[in-house]
Amino acid sequence: MSGRVSLQHLHNPVLLVVIWVAMSLIAAPARSHEATRDAASNAQKISAFYMFRSWDSPDKLVMIMSVARGQHPAEGPEYFQFADNTVYRFSIDNDLNGLAANVVYEIEFKSEHRPIAGGHPWPYVAIPNGLDPSLKGITALTGNGSEGLTLRQVYSVTQISGGRRTQLFKGKKLIAVPPNVGAATMPAYEALAAQGIFLDPKTGIRVFAGQRAETAFGDVGALFDAGNLRRNPPFLTAAEDANGLADPFGTNRFFGANVMSIAIEVPITQLTRDGKAAAKTAIPLLGAYASVLQKDSRHDDWNGRHDDGDGLRQVSRMGNPSFRTFIVDTETKSRWDASRPENDAQFQDLLKAPAIARLLQSSYGVPVPPEPRLELVQIILKYPNQPTNGADCGTPCSDLLRINLQAPPTPAEEQQRLGALLSPDPAGLPNGCRPNDDLTDISLRAFGGPAYFAARIGDGVNSAGNVPGTGFSDGPGYGSSPGNKLDVAANGVVKEFPFMPTPYDGRDGG
């Protein structure tokens, strides 16, 4: 296959492609409104799920799950953590049957309490001008320089494939990177975070868990004020639409905010059905979703929604992020969160008459495609070339984020916020989802249909803004030399694993 893959290679017709994009995108800003101030609850709510071929290592696939969205950097003294007694899961379908159970990765965290002499009320402690040399600053995740981590999270990674459970990274102590408290407590945060990137030499898998800067961007305040954006049609001029480095109007809700992220990078040969590379596999499409499961053996059945029989209760999931927030109604949300994608036929009627499309037409008087929107059912719940059963979804019928592995990754410097909508970008939406793809604008156009493409509807936020590290690109080698910055392109796209920017610090960030 040639270097570039057209939209027709991914999905056909074009309008259906774009609609799928929309459904994969728009929920990310919305989830922040459902988050609570309770840290444990926050840490079990998925706010973003990304899946893409690595532009750092093109023979690998990257999956990122983010939780606890919208963190203010100075959120002391507790800050944010991952949840204990919880399983964070990536589930992959490689045979196109809609059942994402062919390859599964499970991540579990355990908090370690490491009180310093006399105890301390704060989880991260440093006394730069004090007499104790061990508390000059937190410069390591373990050993000398880690004494100030009075609370530390360690974790395990388990691969499930072919019915076998295999613990990865044997012999290594996996440690989550703590929040970026400030320069006095963590004088070299990027070097500290680099210690949280772990490689399993046997499988070639890399993993990272810890705080990152939020890459989602959008005018959440206007969008969810009954869909009243800060301009009326025409929304964006052609020049404004093509500029992904400036915000013509709108207020970015996520500017200066952090998030907790888990990133895993896996060789593609370990994910395809036939064990072959992207260019040679007979089935180049993958589907996947992220989920969070609470360990709770007291609820063996949980109203029929707990079907593992292993004491796990699913509390959150995400395939195409917009499904839960903009399609599933309030009454159904808890049932949707607890259900598995292969059971999504029960929600298909909500796709046929999406409320967001009616809202757009009511707000702006610009027509949307007529109901029932059967094309949404075809694209959101099925793979390409899998027909529906008349007006019914048929089988399979699953909400998964899908990717064509034969589309090559786009280098960081060349990525466009609207992916294939603005320029040939086969690795952009809808082919998986990347951290810097413009979720809101693509989604609004897809929900609205052709008339909204013509009006260039958008929220007026075209970039993540002043992402930490932007403009400080001194070559690869994250944390390998003093003062080295995580390598970030001028457009704010992170060039290297874990593909999420260095978080804003609590002292000066936000």
Rg of the chain over CA atoms, in angstroms?
A: 22
Q: Which residue has the tokens 């728009």?
A: 26
* DSSP assignments along 266-324, one per residue: EEGGGTSTTS--TTT-S--EEEEEEEEEEE-TT-SSTTTT--SSSSEEEEEEESSTHII
The total number of structural domains in the chain stands at 1
Give start and end residues of each alpha helix (H) in 320-402: 322, 333-338, 348-352, 355-364, 374-381
Name every residue whose Cβ is closer than 8 Å to that of residue 151 and which is 6 or more positions away in sequence.
Answer: 81, 111, 112, 113, 114, 123, 124, 178
Q: Which residue has the tokens 């920017």?
A: 501
Q: What is the pLDDT of residues 327-370, one digit of tens each?
A: 888 889 899 999 999 999 999 999 889 888 999 999 999 999 99
Closest CA to 120 of 55, 87, 155, 76: 76
Distances (CA, A) of 211 to 33, 186, 268, 354: 20, 14, 26, 34
Q: What is the pLDDT of residues 89-139, one digit of tens each?
A: 999 999 999 999 999 999 999 999 998 867 788 899 988 888 888 889 999
Gap between the Cα atoms of 443 and 25, Å rounded: 6
Q: What is the pLDDT of residue 466?
A: 54
Residue 487 lies in a domain: no
- pLDDT higher than threshold 90 for residue 276: yes
Residue 266 lies in a domain: yes
Gap between the Cα atoms of 48 and 58, Å rounded: 22
Residue 1 lies in a domain: no
Gap between the Cα atoms of 285 and 298, Å rounded: 38
Residue 472 lies in a domain: no
Q: Tokens for 247? A: 């915000």
Query: Cα dihedral sign for 303, 309, 312, 317?
Result: negative
Q: Are 156 and 167 in contact (CB under 8 A)?
A: yes
Gap between the Cα atoms of 339 and 333, Å rounded: 10
Q: Angle 439-448/355-364 helices, nearest 10 degrees?
A: 80
Q: What is the pLDDT of residues 298-315, one digit of tens each?
A: 444 433 344 455 789 999
Residue 116 lies in a domain: yes
Q: What is the pLDDT of residues 443-473, one digit of tens each?
A: 888 888 899 999 999 999 998 875 544 444 4
Residue 509 lies in a domain: no
Residue 51 lies in a domain: yes
Name the least confident of 5-9, 189-193, 245-249. Answer: 5-9
Range of the domain at 71: 7-454
Name the least confident of 107-116, 266-275, 440-449, 477-486. Answer: 477-486
Name every residue whose Cβ is closer than 8 Å to that of residue 65 and which is 6 or more positions away in sequence.
Answer: 46, 48, 49, 88, 90, 261, 262, 290, 318
Gap between the Cα atoms of 467 and 363, Å rounded: 33
Q: Are 420 and 410 in contact (CB under 8 A)?
A: no
Residue 449 lies in a domain: yes
Strands (E), 151-236: 151-161, 164-167, 174-175, 198-200, 205-213
Q: What is the pLDDT of residue 467?
A: 52
Q: Tokens for 100? A: 């994402």
Longest dimension (CA), the chain: 76
**AA letter at 475:** G
